[in-house]
Structure 1
Amino acid sequence: SDIISSINIRKFIQYHFKKKAFTTISLWPVKNVEEYGVVDLQPDGRILKFVEKPAREEAPSNLINAGAYCQEIEVLDYIKEGEFVSMEMEIFPKIIEEGKPFYGFTFDGFWIDVGRHASYIEVTKILLRKKSLRYLIGESTIYGTLKESTVGDECIIGENSILKACIIYNRTKIGKNVCMENCIVADNCEIGDGVILKNVVIGEGEKIDKNCKIENKKIWTKPIPEGYPRKQIGNPLST
């Protein structure tokens, strides 16, 4: 899953049975409703419909699908064997249309969607702080400075390089005098000397030439595999 939350699973399941629901989903309030699908929720907790990315003034609520589902086994009857389906876009609307009891469960605490680059970095920083760690390193060689960052295995970080709020996967080489902030770098990448990166996401196996300065980019020059289900990253941006 790409969700981290404080939902109490026991209470979630108890609520599902109490309501005699066919499907129950977790709900979370957000300010930026225009970036999500929100629900039309009745006072008794029943969901009447989903509204995908509404204008703020047209949103029926500020509650979004928070990613946890409790469902009756019969939900499998809605899914054809061997097919990829979207529960949110295909299955849930059918269940509601057929009038089956579909409920929403709200909870307190926290909810973070780590499927977004900024939130992925933010939750990493939160977890480091909770563990009282300034950084987390695998079996790698670090000559530079790390701040609120994680580095996987078999990486090399060059002299005088500074990484702030970065996530570095495995087998990546970062040169000397590099400055990186709010970046995610996948496996087997090479970043040359003197590079400056800010708010950059780099896909597997990419190479950044020395002395480049790049901000606010996704770098992945490889094609998305044929038949990849529900590709959501759009066209790769390369620099």
Structure 2
Amino acid sequence: MMKAIVLSGGFATRLRPISYALPKLLFPVAGKPMIYWTLDLLQESGVDQVVLAVNYLADSLRAVVGQKYKGIRINYSLEDEPLGTGGPIKLAARMLKPKETFIAMNGDIITDIDLNKMIRNHKRSKAVVTDALHEVRDPSRFGVVKLDPAGRIQRFVEKPTLREAPSRLVNAGIYLIEPTMLNMIPSGRKVSLEREIFPILAKRGRLFGFPFKGQWFDIGNLADYRKANFALLRGHAPKRDLQRRGTRFKQPVFLGEQTKTETAATVGPNALVGRNCVIRRGAHVVDSILFDRVTIGERSIVSGAIIASSVLVGKNVRIEPGTIISPNVKISDGIRIGKDAIIHPYKEITANVRPRANVM
């Protein structure tokens, strides 16, 4: 059986203000927390032990995920301070104690990669590290590689300009690692795999790439988050019976467990609604993502918004596209929230919010 380390820390600054109150890996994606997409992939690939490398809001993540998931034993490796991409692997390996090839991956990616095929390629190549690679249109946000005909990574360029990029194959955030690589990572300080370790392995001819096609979402910001949710809604969200008397559903729609919709409500198209939500009489939710325990009041309209958990929206409220509403917000009756407004956690909104406002 395989072992894995999942990089689960980071402050998720580009997912603020929602991430002030909720760890990134607990953001719901098409019906389940982001981390469960990763754990499901690992479980289906034969992994039986995972160490989650955590720091920011670690207790919240531990409270939800626990010590066991679908037969996978889960441990937690806590960083006292951020250690980059290499440091957490070194630290977590003390708990994992790998004696053979192990997996390390970012927790904020969703993919259908064939890990077993990647493992076979890794063993055949005798690589120290194999890096999963995915082709993208714009590689400037990622680590970009140049491969030789044998699949060795010749160059690894971190976040190049389009002109400087040696290819459109980018680091997909999934690695197969031999335990000997751990000796290359200094202890007790921040270490970048991409800038400090991979270039050395590339010079030695021991860093290989595994290009793959198919699904791959790197959820780095709220635009990525929205894109992943709606793509997965169309293809992967759980199918549930949505025939409810008096409610109009326009597919695609996902409703979480124990969510209620009332007469004359309209949900969809492109609506993901979490668990224990309430959509009141005459309300309309379209092109939006609602986390758990959200209530939308009578005749309120929510269009193109992301609304985090435990938000109460009153009657006759209008929420316009691009709005981000953080957890534990209360919006009074009759309020209009303009396009691209951002509302921070624990706010009570009693007056209209202008477009692009940042309510702190």
TM-score by length of 2: 0.54
Q: Which amino acid aligns with 1:202?
A: I
Distance 1:118 1:27 in 2: 22
State how far apart, in whole Å, the 1-side matches of 2:271 and 2:148 are.
43
- The aligned residue for residue 108 of structure 1 is 213
Q: Distance in 2 between matches of 1:218 and 1:19?
A: 49
Q: Percent identity?
A: 33
Structure 1 position 113, deviation (Å): 2.3
Deviations 1:155-195 (A, max 9, x none): 22233222123221122222233322332222112233322
CA contact (8 A) 2:145 2:170 kept: yes
CA gap 1:187/1:47 in 2 versus in 1, 3 angstroms: same
- Residue 129 of structure 1, CA deviation: 3.1
2-side partners of 1:17 and 1:28: how far apart?
Answer: 20
Paired position in structure 2 for 1:155: 277
Aligned to 1:233: none
Q: 1:139 to 1:86 in 2, by over 3 A?
A: farther
When residues 76 and 53 of structure 1 are mapped into structure 2, their CA distance, relative to the original with a 3 A threshold, is: same
1:166 is matched with: 288
In structure 1, the partner of 2:266 is 145
Q: Residues 164, 5 of structure 1: CA spacing in aligned structure 2 closer, same or farther, 3 A cutoff?
A: same
Alignment-derived partner of residue 35 in structure 2: none
1:136 equivalenced with 2:242 (yes/no): no
Q: Which runs of 5+ in 2 are unaligned?
A: 1-106, 240-251, 347-357
Q: TM-score, normalised by structure 1?
A: 0.78
Q: What secondary structure sits across from 1:16 in the alignment?
A: helix
SS at structure 1 position matched to 2:140? helix
Query: Which residue of the partner structure matches residue 80 of structure 1?
Result: 187
1:197 and 2:320 are equivalent in the alignment:
yes
Q: Which of 152, 158, 163 is residue 57 of structure 1 equivalent to?
A: 163
Q: 8 Å contact 1:177–1:195 — kept in the other structure?
A: no
Aligned residue among 226, 229, 234 for 1:121: 226
Post-superposition shift, 1:28? 0.8
What RMSD, in angstroms, separates the aligned Cα atoms of the two structures? 2.8
C-alpha change, 1:136 and 1:154, in structure 2 (3 Å) is closer
Question: Residue type of the partner of 1:214?
Answer: G
1:21 counterpart = 2:127: yes
Q: Structure 1 79/199 Cα, relative in aligned 2: closer, same or farther at 3 Å?
A: farther
Of 14-23 and 210-219, more deviation after overlay is shown by 210-219
Deviations 1:203-227 (CA, angstroms, capped at 9, x unpaired): 22233454222323443357xxxxx
Give the counterpart letter for 1:141 in structure 2: K
State whether residues 134 and 216 of structure 2, in contact with CA within 8 Å, keep that contact through their aligned partners in structure 1.
Answer: yes
Q: 1:206 aligns with which of 329, 332, 355?
A: 329
Residues 323, 341 of structure 2: 8 Å contact kept: yes
Structure 1: runs of 5+ lacking an equivalent: 223-236
